[in-house]
Chains A and B, each alone.
Chain A
Amino acid sequence: MLDGFDLDVPPGTLTGLLGPSGSGKSTLMRAIVGVQKIAAGSVEVLGRPAGAAELRSRVSYVTQAPSVYRDLTIRQNLRYFADVLNAPGADVDRVIEQVDLVRHADQLAANLSGGQLSRVSLAVALLGTPELLVLDEPTVGLDPVLRQELWQLFHQLAADGATLLVSSHVMDEAERCERLVLLREGALLADDSLPSLLEHTGTPDAEQAFLHLVSKASHP
């Protein structure tokens, strides 16, 4: 699936992983978290092989499909995951506030909208103090105001020293990342900051830059 890959994500940064559906973003993220069977190659995370037992409380991961219990309330979901992570009890209220679900905290997850449900899933990943957050399309299907707020939260987490890897298939989210990794069909198209990428390609925005790189890759 992923081919000829070499990628370093420096600590304390917010890296955007961009590319169309099926480009290998999720597979790369799963490999980093250590839940993907790997045919060849090595992935190292925080100085340890990906998936090592001691990384399980230092790395948090949000899948595209919300992974929460629909037959529990938001608060019950978070309390359970906080117990598993041995996170302080006060974290539950903190993360509910961070994803803006205070008014729904005691509602059954099954009764939430899709966007609310994916925010519950994101809240689970904020429990404790993860050093690396791997977020697979966390803002998909959210309204612009909420997206803006979540990106502010991601920047805040990076400023506090965490490393974030956030995927998106929406190119305009590129401008919110310090660093961009562009993927297409399992291959690395670019790994750069947005200004430098635009300068290289002579294009006005990330979408144009991506198209430029795609056509360059297919007609060298």
Chain B
Amino acid sequence: MSDISQSHIRNFCIIAHIDHGKSTLADRIIEKTGLLTEREMQEQVLDNMELERERGITIKAQTVRIVYTAKNGEEYIFNLIDTPGHVDFNYEVSRSLAACEGAVLVVDAAQGIEAQTLANCYLAIDHDLEIMPVINKIDLPSADPERVINEIEDVIGLEAQDAPLISAKNGINIEEVLEQIVAKIPAPEGDSKKPLKALIFDSIYDSYKGVIVFCRLFDGAVKKGTQILMMATGAKAEVVEVGTFGAGQFIPCDELSAGMVGYITASLKDVSGTRVGDTVTDAQRPCAESLPGYKKVLPMVYCGLYPADGAKYPDLRDALEKLQLNDASLQYEAETSVALGFGFRCGFLGLLHLEIIQERLEREYNLDLVTTAPGVVYKVYKTDGTVVEVTNPSNLPDPSEIDYMEEPVVDAEIMVTTEYIGAIMKLCQERRGVYMGMEYMEETRALLRYVLPLNEIIYDFFDSLKSRSRGYASFDYDIKGYQRAELVKLDILINKEEVDALSFIVHADSAYERGRKMCEKLKKEIPRHLFEIPIQAAIGSKVIARETVKAVRKDVLAKCYGGDITRKKKLLEKQKEGKKRMRQIGNVEIPQKAFMSVLKLDDED
């Protein structure tokens, strides 16, 4: 395959708003190029994490190499890099883009341009990529490709008249996409004879092969035996294997050369030696300067992650270390909670990112986790003139030492069809949003701009937005900065004991409401004991809400009809099983679920 020249390589990604059919198109491309027969195709080949299939979203960028014989009779190598669509995963998109020359922009023929279409498009333009629009879902009754083409031209400023009109789902017009990729997306530049210069755009940990580095070669070549150097970390290693990506598998090859996308495994045992964004070069013949890498992304949402079983703390640490390798935006540091023992305070890009990491830890690493309420980074200006950043409510200084506090706010842009403007404005107001303006994109759609406190959107803002607009609103945000706010720390006392893992920081105006809801929720979650358990919400020493879990008076098994012991035993086993998932706080057993219940306080709204 290396006999295919650089001019016949196309490195591209597919970008789209969530749900516009990016992964489906990727599947079709793979299918059409004959890498897989139809029988071998699983639905959505590239979403190979169980979690991705279940949720129907792409979380991790995936890469696949395919061979396409174009109508001109020549063979081309396509390196397709699938990218995530959700706002939380922009950094993943950015990584993938750096490895490509072009991007296929998928736009839904009915919905047109959405927030993420724009955001991803701008990212691609930032990376100097050739953008090739494709109009998908043309077989939908509500499809209006003409309008969408005009929209692309007007809003993004891209030539879109000859954009392929396709249905990825039903395989309509996919060849046209492939031909345009050959025609429009430039071949990679770069010189195989120059010193090795490759960008690490992803890496994973494999228990047999160790660290597997995904890279894009810009110059030079690499093969088995090459001594490589990671320019930022300084790690050196000998290459064990190089290869390209099949669908969900690794295909070893002799050599990777300039313009190619592939993987390298080396005698790298230490996970920390490889960092996504770093440049790989030849240790014997290093390149002059490293590639720019990516903008480092800062976590916006923090929460505590604790192993349900305290003994699993080292396992959790290992799992986080390995996940971080594959997800540079994940940050963590050790912390201790009186209620939950040893765990980690972890930083995420957003709430979805948090959920995904939590689920991946649980599924891929078989860990049972307890998550504390997510929070943001607050700046605390103390009376002594110093400023501290607080990510864990337990670390908030005593109120007497606090002069004032600042919270992060975001510039939010919400695209919504006109009929839901009222509902969305109401939602933003409830979340302490400051109205900044509104623009009509066209007759039926408007762009609302708000400044919103980040801690108001990390819980369930996205869900509320979707439900109040029947799915029509889309949302994007950028961190604006910090803003002074009246914030208080709300503590929860169970049976008169403060439970640190349940404390959180909240705006003074919503403290009563939150406190009341917390108590109600906890009342439902905490099982009855032999004694009465008061649940209180307090600000400092002032109790603002209270509920009581009544004592158990009676809990008896009925008759064992005809000696059916098994049934009774199962009931007791269930009761026992429930107990295992409890945390002992003082003499109260609290189910782990209760710690998470604070995440979903707005359920009943």
Whether both chains belong to one complex is answered with no
Spell out A's residues near B (CB within 8 Å): none
